[in-house]
Amino acid sequence: MMIDLRSDTVTRPTPEMRRAMAEAEVGDDFYGEDPTVARLERKAAEILGKEAALFVSSGTMGNLVALLSQTRMGDSIICERKCHIFCFEKGHVSAVCGLLPICLEGDRGRLEPEKVEAVCLGESPLYAATRLICLENTHNMLGGLCLDVAYMRRMRNLADRLGCGIHVDGARIFNASVALGVPAADLARDADSLTFCLSKGLACPYGAVLAGSREMIRIARFKRHMVGGGLRQGGIMAAAGLVALDTMISRLAEDHDHARRLAEGLVRGGLIVDLGAVETNMVFFRLPDGAPEPEVFLQRMKDGKVLCNPPRGGNWRLVTHHGIGQADIDQAVHSISSALGG
């Protein structure tokens, strides 16, 4: 059996999720009549300490709708150069929202307030006024690094001084919550809006949630429909999300432990890993000098029953998740280390 470490999106729904989906009470969500969707939205808002929430198809849609709901065409947003919104969401910032992304190099995924202030654009006939500072927690491309409560408070104070809002791409916000040992609501408190994924880490087959103020979510519901995200009997999918929020968050600590075990094993096997960057469920590694070509290395891993995506810029990413046990981690360490020598 293959050990699939490509992403935490490759999970399968649990038996409890499947039962909940099969038995879900449903209605037409377009009319606000799906009780299961409504329960998911209320529960998500409560967990994050927000007034309201909106069920959407994906984290990308959640981020898109959040931007559409809080900006105007011709505005700008400030984001970290390697963030998901800028790198991996098909350019919707510009193509759909009509926004100017101002990208800054972060420090371990953190935008530095002084740099943000230097590029923030005010109201003017000439400028693309900055409406949002966009943060990512955990930061995907930097290995699952977390933004803590103190940093979020610092950014809130900055945003208030600059007259703009904060949106958090919190696709894996619960990984950050578990790793930092703080409630997710504490990490969300200083954000005007936050998106999290049910299908990353929480093992759901579908969906994400956008949370924020009641008024922002009211607008976001219209924007969701604009981009084709309106739901009918969405409770079939929302039911899995309710199970996930009840049963899948605390177990993320297991994924983090497995990622640490994986990282330490790879170091012993001759791979280059920044152990200080392994905070949640991701391990990034590089090949040492003299290693096989990436295509060869990738095939050797596959021959060793380990699935991994091709590298980006020399960085290889492995992601632990539900369904991967300690024995799988140990086998993966052996297979990946062996792939160095053939």
Same domain, 43 and 128: yes
Domain annotation covers residue 9: no
Mean pLDDT of 249-267: 98
Same domain, 45 and 64: yes
Same domain, 130 and 269: no
Same domain, 71 and 160: yes
End-to-end CA distance of the chain: 20
At residue 149's C-alpha, the angle toward residues 193 and 165, to 5°, is: 30
Same domain, 215 and 153: yes
pLDDT in tens, 222-246: 999 999 999 999 999 999 999 999 9
Q: CATH number, domain at 272? A: 3.90.1150.10
- Residue 121 contacts residue 129 (beta carbons within 8 Å): yes
Same domain, 177 and 320: no
Domain annotation covers residue 262: yes
The residue among 247, 272, 296 that closes a domain is: 247
CA 267/CA 262 separation, integer angstroms = 9
The residue among 199, 225, 247 that closes a domain is: 247
How many domains would you assign to the chain? 2
The residue among 247, 282, 315 that closes a domain is: 247
CA 70/CA 88 separation, integer angstroms = 21
Mean pLDDT of 64-76: 97
Domain annotation covers residue 178: yes
pLDDT in tens, 262-307: 999 999 999 999 999 999 999 999 999 999 999 999 999 999 999 9
- In this prediction the pTM is 0.96
pLDDT of residue 341: 82
What average pLDDT is seen over the chain? Answer: 97
Q: Would the pLDDT of 342 be above 90?
A: no
Phi, psi of 34 (to 5 degrees): -95, 110
Going by the DSSP 8-state scheme, the letter that residue 310 receives in this structure is: P
Same domain, 163 and 241: yes
Pairing state between β 282-286 and 316-319:
antiparallel
Domain annotation covers residue 96: yes
Domain annotation covers residue 113: yes
Domain annotation covers residue 137: yes
CA 152/CA 43 separation, integer angstroms = 23
Q: Would the pLDDT of 334 be above 90?
A: yes
Same domain, 142 and 172: yes
Portion of the chain with pLDDT greater than 90, in percent:
97
pLDDT in tens, 101-151: 999 999 999 999 999 999 999 988 989 999 999 999 999 999 999 999 999
Q: CATH number, domain at 203? A: 3.40.640.10
Same domain, 151 and 95: yes
Same domain, 217 and 281: no
Same domain, 100 and 191: yes
Domain annotation covers residue 93: yes
Domain annotation covers residue 8: no
CA 264/CA 287 separation, integer angstroms = 15
Q: Where are the alpha helices (DSSP H) in 25-148?
A: 35-48, 59-70, 84-87, 92-95, 113-119
Q: What is the extent of the structural domain holding 144? A: 15-247
pLDDT of residue 246: 98
**Is-cis flag, bond preceding 280, omega within 30?**
no
Same domain, 216 and 325: no
pLDDT in tens, 145-203: 999 999 999 999 999 999 999 999 999 999 999 999 999 999 999 999 999 999 999 99
At residue 50's C-alpha, the angle toward residues 44 and 56, to 5°, is: 45
Mean pLDDT of 254-267: 98
